[in-house]
Amino acid sequence: MQRYFMELSYDGRGYHGWQVQPNGASVQGCVAGALSLLLRAETEVVGAGRTDAGVHAARMVAHFDSGEAFDPAWLAAKLNRLLPPDIAVQGIRRVREGAHARFDALSRTYQYHVATAKQPFLRDRAWRVAPGLDFGRMNEAAALLREYADFTSFSKLHTDVKTNNCRVTQAEWAQEGEAEWVFTIRADRFLRNMVRAVVGTLADVGRGRLDADGFRAVIEAKDRCRAGSSAPAHGLFLVDVEYPADIYIG
């Protein structure tokens, strides 16, 4: 058996998230189905993480195994013809034995898009907010995320993870168009719902409901009830997953 990493992008609107669900289409399910058909063997697909319902991916990485000999570029082209238009395979690469899309990831990067005016082309891919958010103050508060490790305040309750610690290495807002702002956050790992809860709470800072000290107090409380409400799913994109360079072979 040879292990492969595949890079995927998808528009999350039509899916109940990455992970296979008992009711409703999932990206993982679609990809595993197409792969199993083309490789003529039931093939499991393991993603770098799970994106929630409605969340997009510009670059998701997933691994699978196959005993068949094939040209990765040929398989990627075949998959793209078989998969629906809102899921695309960007590439397939051989990786070393035991390489794991989830456990070997060094970091994940998410971006959250906010539209500060009505914009027809962003309506499915950015959170439309009332004008007047103070992104300078939001950046000041966002910088605090890098000082802390425990993000219990931004985690979904009752999840089964052993620790709520994450190492955030980037967290900043940047203006992209006249009326579009993008929040980029990178960390070794993320808790469920974390980015959307962080963005929702930063929006409270931008509206003046909370200042940087208040934001710090929310983090330090380690209490989900102290954070703001979650920003909607359709503004969120998984944009990168980083691996050690020597994981790829050939």
Which positions touch its own copies (CB under 8 A)? 9-11, 56, 58, 80, 85-90, 117-121, 123, 125
For residues 47 and 18, the answer to whether their CB atoms sit within 8 Å is yes
Instruction: Work out how close the CB of 98 gets to its own copies at its nearest, in angstroms, rounded to a whole number.
Output: 30
Instruction: Work out how close the CB of 31 gets to its own copies at its nearest, in angstroms, rounded to a whole number.
Output: 13
Nearest to 145 by CA among 129, 168, 173, 163: 168
Spatial distance between the Cα atoms of 91 and 88, rounded to a whole number of angstroms: 9
Instruction: Work out how close the CB of 157 gets to its own copies at its nearest, in angstroms, rounded to a whole number.
Output: 32
Report helix, strand or coil for 250: coil
**What angle separates helix 194-206 from helix 212-221, to the nearest 10 degrees?**
150
Spatial distance between the Cα atoms of 160 and 141, rounded to a whole number of angstroms: 28
Tell me the residue type at 191: L
Q: Find the radius of gyration of the CA atoms of the chain.
A: 19
Instruction: Work out how close the CB of 133 gets to its own copies at its nearest, in angstroms, rounded to a whole number.
Output: 17
Which CB sits closer to its own copies, 73 or 149? Answer: 73
Which CB sits closer to its own copies, 178 or 246? Answer: 178
How far are the Cα atoms of 9, 15, 61, 65, 86 from residue 82, in angstroms, in the given order? 15, 17, 19, 19, 11
For residues 129 and 203, the answer to whether their CB atoms sit within 8 Å is yes
Is 240 tagged catalytic? no
Q: How many CA atoms lie within 13 A of 186 on its CB side?
A: 10
Longest CA pairwise span in the chain (Å): 59
Which CB sits closer to its own copies, 19 or 90? Answer: 90
Catalytic-labelled residue, pool 52, 104, 204, 240: 52
Nearest to 190 by CA among 227, 228, 241: 241
Instruction: Work out how close the CB of 9 gets to its own copies at its nearest, in angstroms, rounded to a whole number.
Output: 5
Which CB sits closer to its own copies, 40 or 118? Answer: 118
Tell me the residue type at 67: G
Residues tagged active-site:
52
